[in-house]
Structure 1
């Protein structure tokens, strides 16, 4: 039974589902239904910058991001929002540094690019690691976070999870990447409208920004809660155990390079662009959009906390991740509530469809096509659709275990896999573009040695915290486990870079002809007019990031 949901709200939500399914049908009836592999997996490679940028943003902003960032706002944990701001800078790297190589080589997948640059072994490594990470962590977490959203609005966990998986899987199978990116574009608009409405309504109820600040100060003075500056400060000391400023500036970008520049889940959207210019503009557009979560996710979490202090919202601080859904269901007026819920559903479904599509693309291009190199485009598309169906079934089968896993500590550590496996991948991609003498021998040794160190940290950290393994204080092993995860990412990146360089020196690089399309080459001539405009957009984006960093610092709002 839906709680506090009016007929108008339900109609708005149903209207949202209707639009999404209509767009999917339209996409599958166009080029998505032609049977060409490029049409199904890369949306025909003819997409403009607006579609590419909106899809990048929508694919990234899942329910877990919304719940996590808004929950950080309610917990006075603003440094978490730095991941969103840093993404804007990393997207600049995607557009200017990585995209030209991906489009120039005509690859379908990131592992395929690694094979062109290095070897088949490197391709296999990235394919297997990526698919396992998607199925075990990304897809499961998205479904679980979405089911929590449904639970908050009164829909049973199982019902919400099953409806979400089936609806999303249906249109992903139907239209491939074209259906995914066009629904992403609409979902991005709905998501922005819904969350902006929540933010503005909440601020209004508190009497504006000054009312929010005075409520926070009052709570700090009377209850000993974190003071106002704790809510609006992105920077913490180097000794902070969670988000030290050194880790944020030097460790978090490494994770960002892996996620935004080398992960199939994200990069596949840029591969659908009609040319390098549109792919770069799309990446920059997504960079601008990534500045918004501070205002439409984090600040609503702070608003929810302030409203709770005034007795207007009923949710427990220990469950602060439900701050935004609780604010929507318990506080927003009729109609606006339906729009906001549709926005949360849009975030969930866009991320899930992207995970389904990128996983099926990897299974098709990196395994099925290698097994059957002469397979027709029609067979490739059919296998991709079948792979998506299998992923949907696996996801449904995983649902019964999710509540148990999320209730304990194990799922947290499964999620940590992404943080601990990303530095070696980032190092191999980044240095491989700039240095021709880096070779396949160095790459595969760096990947596996980095993977071993990362998994060692992951497993031992879990065992120690669960009481399975005892480690004496003051030992080298204890120091290894005490390193902040962002500092560890930096350490692992440097370690992999050294291994990559040293081992490469013992072998022979590929020929200049083989490396022509996958490494930087000297260019002559002046930049085109389009590139000049992109450069201006890039500079403005960097300036906006610096302004946000300055405003939300001890010398800005927090001061």
Structure 2
């Protein structure tokens, strides 16, 4: 099975032995009380209007947009899967967060104006306005499938596993109770409840995550300062001596057998790296990141619900700063684990990744004092529940507006659409619970890798046609449709046949290849057929500099301008890229 009982790993205790005391349960319970109060208060007025239920009445301020954007993104993939991936692969895992700089910048300056001006509730609706109904329906179907398999089921499994190991509950019961609690706000109060419970949750997650990292660095310092602990972490991850050197030699043998070394502190890895080849950090945003942050309904729904374009843009800038911070709480713990337990890298390699997924729980049990453990469990659970309720609401939105209303009952009343949203949320949640119980039978799979791999199947074709469709009026529905279906076929072939080229074996390189193929097909077939009709290329749907609304980034005071805070974000990220390029550290 994919999971290993923590009690069987040296240094790991069962829940009864882990020191969870009444104070931990009180703090954990207080989190639920506050979450409940927020959810009930915000969702106290029953929504009979679809805009209010699915987009919070387009009333969200920038801090709610950005906070909820990140809270819905952080899940067991991060606290469980990403910490484990950082233990296995090193600092390069941080690029999963940092490379969002490219997509966020495009979203701020180009995509937001189009999405808001179009008046669309959902991304499938936007695709129909720019292309055709076929792409709208296919994208809606793919989105629902992806949300259930790559998000809901995987996150519920990771969260259920954490509750199972920490509290000793049965795995099935843990998954079910997590799904019911996490999904309740999405079903009860709609998108407004989701956003404001997310905002509270992201505060708890960041506070709890920083505590674990700080305590981990203090552990490495052995009585010294946090700075000394950081220095110890860096030195041991350099792996120039002792057991750490032996561990990295083993790591290199399995990850990069055609190379002589492996640098755990570099974000630029060889092109045949199994998960993070260097081209993906530079151009990978074109395939997965645009889809995840722009076309992914459960992420972009926050932008569509913003008060206005200023709050939408500033919300994404705020999300960018949180992305800079994320590796502190989900990557450094993995480096700390390697610095403290390098011997874990020397076990049977098939067991390294699934065991590494237990790393965050291991740190909580060993380092966090009684009382604070309750806060950390709240942070872990908060990460999971925020993703579940966000994905659940957005999936119900897609089903209700793009399938139920568009295909079956176009004249549905507003109140009926809200009821369908509630009922579909319950059904989607039940399906996800069933799939979450199936994931446990996948052998030797890292949760992080499982989710990221699924993304590369769904994302590239749609990212290609979306970007080309906005940038070039000549792209038409026929070219986009051929590109999407042929792109999916190519990605399936790459995923299920033996590839003779070493550089194309990594799933992220396959995503880049699929995106390039889809883009070329889209251009060729668009040029070989008639130009799109005028209503498909109006100013709200394709690039028009007059519609970018750059005046909205200007404020009377310089410290309130979008451009200032975006520029500072860019400088900060580029500095981190240089520091961890492999030449300085």
Residue correspondence of structure 1 range 26-105 to structure 2 within 5 A: 26-30=41-45, 33-105=46-118
Change in Cα spacing, 1:197 to 1:112, as seen in structure 2 (3 Å) is: same
Partner of 1:337: 373
- Matched with 1:304 is 337
* CA RMSD of superposed structures (Å): 2.6
- Report the counterpart of residue 501 of structure 2 in structure 1: 479
User: Contact (CA 8 Å) 1:76, 1:302: kept in 2 or not?
Assistant: no
For the residues of structure 1 that align with 2:447 and 2:82, how far apart are their CA atoms? Answer: 21
Provide closer, same or farther for how the CA distance between residues 554 and 414 of structure 1 changes in structure 2, counting only shifts above 3 A.
closer
Cα distance change on mapping 1:405 and 1:269 into 2, 3 Å? same
CA gap of 1:495–1:229, structure 2 versus 1, over 3 A, is closer
Q: Distance in 2 between matches of 1:236 and 1:366?
A: 41
TM-score scaled to structure 2, two decimals?
A: 0.86
Task: Tell me the residue number matched to 1:465.
Answer: none
Q: Is the Cα contact below 8 Å between 1:417 and 1:455 reproduced in 2?
A: no
Deviation string, structure 1 residues 368-405 (Cα, Å, up to 9, x no partner): 11111111110000000000011122223334322113
Change (3 A) 1:44 1:162: same
Q: Report the CA distance shift for 1:478/1:5 in structure 2 as closer, same or farther (over 3 A).
A: same
Q: CA deviation at 1:408?
A: 6.5
Q: Say if 2:165 is the partner of 1:129.
A: no
1:545 CA displacement: 0.8
1:391 aligns with 2:428: yes
Aligned partner of 1:464 in structure 2 is none
Question: Residue 176 of structure 1 corresponds to which residue in structure 2?
Answer: 190
Q: Hey, what's the Cα distance between the residues in 1 that align with 2:447 and 2:28?
A: 34
Within 2, Cα distance between the matches of 1:383 and 1:243? 41
Aligned pair count?
Answer: 536
Is 1:210 aligned with 2:228? yes
Paired with 2:215 and 2:357, the residues of 1 have a C-alpha distance of 20
Distance verdict in 2 for CA 1:283–1:57, change over 3 Å: same
- Structure 1 residue runs without a partner (length 5+): 461-470, 472-476
In the alignment, structure 1 residue 540 sits paired with structure 2 residue 568: yes
* Alignment check: 8 A CA contact 2:337 2:359 kept: yes
| Secondary structure at the counterpart of residue 534 of structure 2 | coil
Which residue is equivalent to 1:511? 533
Deviation at 1:523, TM superposition (A): 1.9
Bigger mean CA deviation after superposition, 300-309 or 274-283: 300-309
Conservation of the 8 A alpha-carbon contact between 1:88 and 1:291? no
Asked if the contact 2:86/2:92 (under 8 Å) is kept, the reply is: no
Over residues 257-281 of structure 1, what are the superposed CA-to-partner deviations in whole Å (9 max), with x where a residue is unaligned?
Answer: 1111111121111111011111111
Q: Alignment partner of 1:225: what SS?
A: helix
Does residue 363 in structure 1 map to residue 399 in structure 2? yes
Any conservation in 1 of the 2:220–2:232 contact (CA below 8 Å)? no
**Offset at residue 422 of structure 1 (A):** 1.2
Q: Which of 436, 442, 447 is the equivalent residue of 2:484?
A: 447
Report what 1:288 is aligned to.
Answer: 321
- CA 1:58–1:414 in structure 2 vs 1: closer, same or farther (change >3 Å)? closer
Distance 1:14 1:117, change over 3 A: same
Preserved CA contact (<8 Å) 2:90 2:335: no
Q: Residue 495 of structure 1 corresponds to which residue in structure 2?
A: 517
Change (3 A) 1:184 1:494: same
Match of 1:158 in 2: 172
What is the SS of the residue equivalent to 1:20? Answer: helix
Distance 2:154 2:463 in 1: 23
Once residues 233 and 92 of structure 1 are traced to their aligned partners in structure 2, the CA distance between those partners, rounded to angstroms, is 24
Q: Match for residue 283 of structure 2?
A: 250
> Is the contact between residue 55 and residue 188 of structure 1 (CA under 8 Å) also seen in structure 2?
yes
Task: Provide the rounded CA distance (Å) in 1 between the counterparts of 2:107 and 2:548.
Answer: 23
User: What is the distance in 2 between the residues matched to 1:310 and 1:497?
Assistant: 45
Question: Is contact 2:263-2:582 (8 Å) kept?
Answer: no
The separation in 1 between residues aligned to 2:215 and 2:447, in whole angstroms, is 38
Checking the alignment, whether the CA contact within 8 Å between 2:78 and 2:448 is kept in structure 1 is no
Report the more deviating stretch, 480-489 or 78-87: 480-489
Q: Distance in 1 between matches of 2:512 and 2:444?
A: 30
Deviation at 1:309? 6.1
Q: Which runs of 5+ in 2 are unaligned?
A: 1-14, 250-260, 345-350, 556-560
Distance, in Å, in 1 between the alignment partners of 2:72 and 2:198 is: 7
CA contact (8 A) 1:67 1:145 kept: yes
The answer to whether 1:222 aligns with 2:242 is yes
Structure 1 position 16, deviation (Å): 0.7
Measured in 2, the distance between the counterparts of 1:174 and 1:73 equals: 37
Q: Structure 1 411/71 Cα, relative in aligned 2: closer, same or farther at 3 Å?
A: closer
Cα shift readout 1:471-512 (whole Å, capped 9, x = no counterpart): 5xxxxx533894433222222222111111111112233333
Contact 2:310 2:552 in 1 (8 A): no
Q: Give distance in 2, aligned partners of 1:174 and 1:81.
A: 35
Q: In the alignment, which residue of structure 2 is the partner of 1:467?
A: none
C-alpha deviation, 1:203, in angstroms: 1.5
SS of residue in 1 equivalent to 2:43: helix
**Map of 2:558 onto structure 1:** none
Flag the 1:73–1:417 CA change in 2: closer, same or farther, 3 A. closer
In structure 2, the CA distance between the partners of 1:426 and 1:377, relative to structure 1 (3 Å rule), is same
- 2:447 and 2:234 map into 1 onto residues whose CA distance is 35
- Pairing 1:424-439 to 2, within 5 Å after superposition: 424-439=461-476
Correspondence for 2:363? 327
Question: Residues 287-309 of structure 1, C-alpha deviation per residue, up to 9 Å, x if partnerless?
Answer: 11001122111112222333446
Report if the CA contact (8 A) 2:487-2:514 is conserved. yes
Further displaced range: 436-445 or 389-398: 389-398
CA contact (8 A) 1:152 1:326 kept: no
